[in-house]
Structure 1
Amino acid sequence: MAAASSLLSEDQFLCSICLDVFTDPVTIPCGHNFCKTCITHHWNINVKTQCPVCNKQFDRRPELHVNTFISEMAARFRQSVKIKASSSSQQHQADTGEVLCDVCTETQTKALKSCLVCLASYCETHLEPHQRVTGLKIHTLIDPVENLETRVCKKHERPLELFCKTDQMCVCQFCTESSHKLHQIVPLIEEYEGKKAKLGKIEAKVQQMIQERRLKIQELKQSVELSKETADRVTASSVQVFTALIQSVEGSLVELIETITERHNTTEKHVEGFIKELEEEISELMKRSTELKQLSHTKDHLLLLQSFPSLIPAQHTKDRTEVRVHSSYEGAVRTAVSQLEETLSKELKKLCVDVEVKRVQQFAVDVTLDHETANHHLILSDDGKQVSYGDMKQNLPDNPKRFYLYSVLGKQSFSSGRFYYEVQVKGKTAWTLGVARESVNRKDTFITLSPTNGYWTVCMSKRNQYEACAGRSIRLSPKSKPQRVGVFVDYAEGLVSFYDIDAAALIYSFTGCRFTEKLYPYFNPWHNSDGKNSTPLTICSSYHSD
């Protein structure tokens, strides 16, 4: 059968009406064969019942039965053609990326359309029957595509032309009359347009997500770079501190060795003196011992009695039984270790604070003063970086933001995250710095600066005293007079910290704060005090890492 079918030509398996391989072939009385659907449709649209090939007329429409032999042969031919065409098409498509005509038997040409009914793609020549034959004109043609079988209902072998919104799947017309009978069915094109519109929105969202992730990548890269810079600074600072510590340890060891050596030398000299004295005494005693032995053997009574007093040991002879050599150096070692521990503790504490300062400086922000909040006596620089007290009250418009106190806020507000800024206070005899919440009272002539009233600040008073304004003033004792003060806020952690930048020391921290609104940098340069406090507070444009 396979050998016989291979000898048959394509024309023997083509319906003369649709010019395609037979589908459900039937034989009419004159002996000609047609697709059952094609001949039925032909007789339905024509008055006469006759053969389309030989024009033989029949008195009545013949009863049609599928010719199983021709059907089997046509199926085998269709399968062999499909395998051959698929192999050739795949090879050509792999080379050119084009969909090829399934009917061309020799050189396959580029397909112009694909038919969802015939499940085949046609070049311009073989597409002609679909444009001419009435029965073929109703077939659904689309732009050429591969794998047409995926576009046909596997159950009914009909084109998937509809969409079931209930089950969210493509269906054929027969599906709507059976398993999807009561479902919400719409044309494929309608669902396509709706999904296409959604795709536009999804694409926009995806692009937004891409952009967000690119920005995040950029932010992370910047964070890594900043971390690297900070790590380098901290490493250099650590090397410097630990080198100094090592030198200090080595110096302390040298001093300790010198102290021990000096003590040992002193002890050695002292002992040598004792030994010399003892040796002299031994020599004297041995001399007397000899004299005593000689006298003990004498028979001369007078001589013994006359010599006896001079041979008795002198009363002033020293008692050496309590003489001891003390070789304990634990006291010196203990003193040296104690001093070294104190030095190490100071240096390590300084290093830790220095590392902390470097860390918070990563969150530095650009702060400028808000002219609308400044008291009438305050003079602000044009760039908004300096504020000082002016003896003359300025003619400024009043507004709800302006302070009656000698205060001014920064323009920038913060309601999340962390931020940091630095202020130079060198040359001033009094100042107040910190942060204030947006709703603070700005109109009273006297306000207690405290967290309860919305202020987290530290100050230097005219009495050269430093205080944390926490409701009740907390006296601070910085080891040196701060020249530059850093202010760091962690909104989520409820933390406000103040640092002496030059000394790398923590001045004070407010902890456990509960922030519920915007925070603003707060500045108060205080009164001039006859020119003694005329130096302005200056916001550092950028922090220093030296």
Structure 2
Amino acid sequence: MAVTGEVVKELQNEITCSICRSYFCEPVTIRCGHNFCQACLSSSWRVEALAFSCPECRRVFHHREIPIVNRRLAELTELGKELSSRLMQSTEGQSQCVTHEKPFKLFCEEDQKALCVTCCETPEHGAHKIFPVREAAYKYKRELQRIRSLLGNYLEEDEQLLAQEEKPAVDWSSLFSNEYYKIYNLRWRAKNLDLPERIRQEQEANQDRLSQHMQTLQDLMLELQALAQQPNVDLLQDAKHLLRRTEAVLSQRAKAVTPELREYPIPGLIEILNRFRVELTMDPTSADSWVSVSGDLKSAKAEEEWQVETKPPEDFPLSYVFAEQAFSSGSQYWEVDVTQLPQWVLGIYTAYLKSRRRRGKKVSCTSLFLLQCVKKEEDYYLQTYPGPLNHRMKSPLPRVGVYLNYCHGTLGFYNVLQRSLIYKFYSIPFTAPVKPIFSPGPPLPGTKPGPMTLCPVDSHLCACCYSSQ
């Protein structure tokens, strides 16, 4: 039987590892029947894990037993690689120009078309960039390999994100349930019982969205691998179109893998928090060189010369200013107007924290607890430091409320307009006074920075007020 391209392609699918998307290297077969590279499976099954699942069908195994190499599958892999190479060599140069009946030896970059020598002499391609087929194919093969490696890295990240979605680091149901319980000081009422179900449904929707994105990446990787095995002329006809499709998918990656921050309004929330409202002023002596404080000490503004770093430091916002007030007891609540800022940082700083021990080991504690807003293209992303929050919003927040309970060691951030919780830190081991911290940036390139303003104690924000601004 003649070995056709379809037969070789089917064989390639059978001898390709679903983890690294390359030909098997020392393949092993696990109990569910699926095959992987021995090194890929070992990397996927981390030693410290309590259970181990098949990367393909997700069947769970409770013991980490890496099988011995499947020698027959290894031999089949070598045979498949040889057949693929022979097929490429046998088809290389067979395609020819129908018009001039000469083999395709050149490639037009502008028209994405294979040409014979006579075709190049026509006025149609006279001013175009022409390359030898082998040179052009080598260029695209390198680009295809680069994209495949990039997709492989993204798939690993997505698998970790999906695992987090299946067992989320933020227990939103408990988070909001606790808020309701504290506000009303009674058990859930019937009208509020649908909230955990809504959160569960949205978490499942996030998992489905992420799974679909992963499937798209996997399909693209298979297409890239199959295309890389094609004869040079066939590869050149399809490579640019496939690379454009891949770029389009990757350009939407941030939205695909980052869940949208949901709003769960809590009736009476802001009214109760206002009972703990405190008047704050900013300390101009603590201001960074890229931050200026107003004369009334109520607002901070980023200087236009503020240079945006490519990567923010791990311990502090880029530029900041402290409040003059410090708190070492009780409960305090303040609001900050960030209407004119696409990017900002809010939070608290404390000099000392109690040392913690977990499983007999001392755990270091951060002295900063922050909520950060970052704008990327048309979306806004809310992130916590430390903490797992990384969610996107379609529109910016006009005003953020911050609630500190020193005795209980909690710090909450609130969407004042929607009367909903953004995120809450629990069990912070305070031992020293706490100071609010503000960072009105970094500013976006080409924009005029606006102020970050402390809201007066008697000011209130509602939807009608905000819409009229």
Q: Which has the higher strand share?
A: 2
Q: Considering the TM-score relative to the shorter chain, is it more than 0.5?
A: no
What is the TM-score of this pair, normalised by structure 2?
0.36
- Would you tell me which structure has more helix in proportion to its own residues? 1
Structure with the bigger RCO (C-alpha within 8 Å, sep 6+) is 2
* Structure label with greater radius of gyration: 1
